[in-house]
Amino acid sequence: MILRVILFGPLFTMAERQFNLQLKYALETVSKRKVEIILPQVRAERFITEKGVDFEAIKNNCLENAISAVAAIANLDGADSDSGTCVEVGYRKGVDKNLYVLGF
């Protein structure tokens, strides 16, 4: 059984996106169980085409993944936590307070 875990975090700069990719790789590599780390920044790529960006589909996919994953890992680092990350955590816990969120 593959555990689906979503990574919430900022993704506006190249450094943030690279960190997310490296964290995904590290978590999938060191886990003793099969883990799929869902990165919204990667999932969103399918909704960007030559016709444009389907923002509604990106939002819906993010919200679906936010509650369907067995756990969420939230990057809350920095002077102020990323507003999008906070929304994702709040949405997940708002849907079901028992859904797991690990913040760092």
CATH code assigned at 45: 3.40.50.450
Q: Does the pLDDT at position 96 exceed 90? A: yes
Structurally, the chain folds into a number of domains equal to 1
Distance CA 55, CA 39 (A): 16
Which pLDDT score, from 0 to 100, does residue 18 have?
96
For the chain, give the mean pLDDT. Answer: 94
Distance CA 77, CA 90 (A): 16
What pTM does this model have? 0.88
| Domain with 98 in it | 3-103
Per the structure block, which two tokens stand in for 78?
């920095």
- Let me know: does 43 contact 34? Beta carbons within 8 Å: no
Model confidence over 8-45: pLDDT tens digits?
999 889 999 999 999 999 999 988 889 999 999 999 99
Mean pLDDT, residues 55-66 taken together: 93
